[in-house]
């Protein structure tokens, strides 16, 4: 026979009897609970009681002798199983082990990702410094080396060279400022990017009396942007603003940020006419930056209308 009990039923009493009714009170009983006891219990009491049994499997063995001392040599057996609480079952422990392993795996992957992001960020900064600052420093170095001779032989040309050095220095300063701005974690929101673009547009277009409107959907303002996103979007917008200032002869411009399904749409329009910029170096650089972000950049021109449209997936 077999009985199954809950772990809460850890106090049990089992009564047994010998089918010998002659001097029944003289019958003797012997029992032991395998899994708990090694020795047999012998008593004229026909009740076995156990308290605080641990979950597990047990076998109760019982023998009896009549009043004449004749023992039943083959004990009867009762299989007892006490079920453990769910948190002590093998499947629950296995589940906990799997969850623990999953957490460890996730932490390791997160750590690897963070290390990779830092490595990529350093490479990106090094690349930006090389591309955007290195070339300007090279130009300044060349101009500085030939400037002394030019000052003696061609004063007018030397003045132009000094102006070029000044302009290159301003470019380096601005590029360094953009790189430092993009690295700072407190500039991670779209709102911070809009402020930066608004400042640059004001510095660049207002002196040319180009009225500028910059606006964004409310649900975009608090979006978090990774470092490379905000850096490349900023540089794309700055290049488009520079093109408006240099080539469009416009009187007004609009920069609109909107959310289209799962894409960020950035439209930069003016009422002027660009000349030769659709396939120029600046436009090519903007497209390369857009492609690096997994997006697409297009330039549309018409009669008194130019639009740079940037579509990017949400990071």
Domain segments of the chain as ranges: 2-85, 89-183, 187-315
Classified as helix, coil or strand, 236 is helix
Residues 179 and 231 sit within 8 Å (Cβ to Cβ): yes
Query: What is the distance, to the nearest Å, from the Cα of residue 100 to the centroid of all Cα atoms in its chain?
Result: 19
**Gap between the Cα atoms of 16 and 44, Å rounded:** 11
- Taken as a whole, the chain contains a residue count of 315
Pairing of strands 263-270, 296-302: unpaired
Q: Residue 112's pLDDT is what?
A: 92
Give the model confidence (pLDDT) of 110-161 as tens digits: 999 888 877 877 777 777 766 667 767 777 788 788 888 878 888 888 888 8
**pTM score:** 0.60
Number of Cβ atoms within 10 Å of the Cβ of 141: 11
Residues 46-70 have a mean pLDDT of 90
- Fold annotation for 2-85: Immunoglobulin-like (2.60.40)
Best CA proximity match to 176, nearest among 138, 134, 133: 133
**What count of Cα atoms within 13 Å lies in the side-chain half-sphere of residue 294?**
9
3-state secondary structure of 162: helix
Q: Which residue has the higher pLDDT, 293 or 137?
A: 293
40-54 mean pLDDT? 91
Please report, for residues 44, 60, 110, 246, the alpha-carbon distance to residue 33 in angstroms, rounded to integers and kept in the order given.
17, 4, 53, 97
pLDDT confidence of residue 274: 64
C-alpha distances in Å from residue 4, one per residue of 1, 7, 48, 60, 102: 10, 10, 17, 13, 35
Predicted local distance difference test score (pLDDT) of residue 104: 95
Half-sphere exposure of 234 (CA within 13 A, CB side): 30
Reduced to 3 states, what is the DSSP secondary structure of residue 166?
Answer: helix
Task: Select the more confidently predicted residue: 20 or 6.
Answer: 6
- Mean pLDDT in the chain? 86
| Helix or strand holding residue 230 (H, E) | helix 227-243
Tell me the per-residue pLDDT of 211-246, one tens digit each, with 9 for 90 and over.
999 999 988 888 898 888 888 999 999 989 988 888
DSSP 188: -
**Which class is 187-315 in CATH?**
alpha beta
More confident residue, 22 or 174: 174
């Amino acid at each position: 026979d077999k009985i199954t009990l809950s772990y809460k039923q850890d106090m049990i009493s089992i009564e047994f009897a010998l089918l010998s009714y002659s001097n029944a009170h003289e019958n003797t009983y012997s029992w032991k609970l395998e899994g708990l006891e090694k020795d047999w219990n012998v008593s004229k009491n026909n009740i076995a009681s156990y308290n605080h049994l641990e979950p597990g499997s047990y076998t109760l063995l019982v023998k009896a002798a009549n009043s004449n001392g004749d023992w039943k040599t083959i004990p009867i057996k009762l299989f007892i199983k006490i079920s453990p609480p769910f948190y002590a079952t093998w499947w629950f422990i296995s589940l906990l082990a799997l969850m623990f392993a999953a957490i460890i795996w996730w932490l390791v992957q997160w750590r690897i990702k963070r290390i990779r992001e830092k490595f990529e960020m350093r490479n990106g900064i090094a690349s930006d410094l090389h591309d955007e600052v290195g070339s300007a420093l090279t130009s300044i170095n060349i101009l500085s080396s030939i400037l002394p001779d030019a000052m003696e032989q061609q004063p007018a040309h030397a003045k132009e060279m000094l102006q070029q050095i000044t302009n290159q220095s301003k470019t380096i300063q601005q590029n360094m400022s953009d790189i430092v701005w993009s690295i700072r974690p407190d500039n991670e929101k779209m709102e911070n990017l809009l402020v930066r673009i608004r400042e640059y547009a004001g510095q660049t277009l207002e002196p040319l009396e180009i009225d500028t409107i910059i606006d964004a959907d409310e649900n975009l303002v608090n979006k978090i942007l990774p470092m490379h996103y905000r850096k490349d979007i900023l540089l794309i917008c700055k290049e488009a603003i520079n093109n408006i200032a240099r080539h469009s002869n416009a009187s007004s411009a609009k920069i609109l940020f909107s959310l289209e399904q799962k894409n960020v749409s950035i439209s930069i329009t003016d009422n002027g006419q660009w000349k030769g910029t659709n396939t120029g170096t600046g436009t090519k650089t903007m497209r390369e930056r857009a492609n690096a972000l997994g997006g697409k950049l297009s330039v549309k021109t018409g009669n008194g209308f130019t639009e740079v449209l940037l579509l990017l997936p949400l990071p």
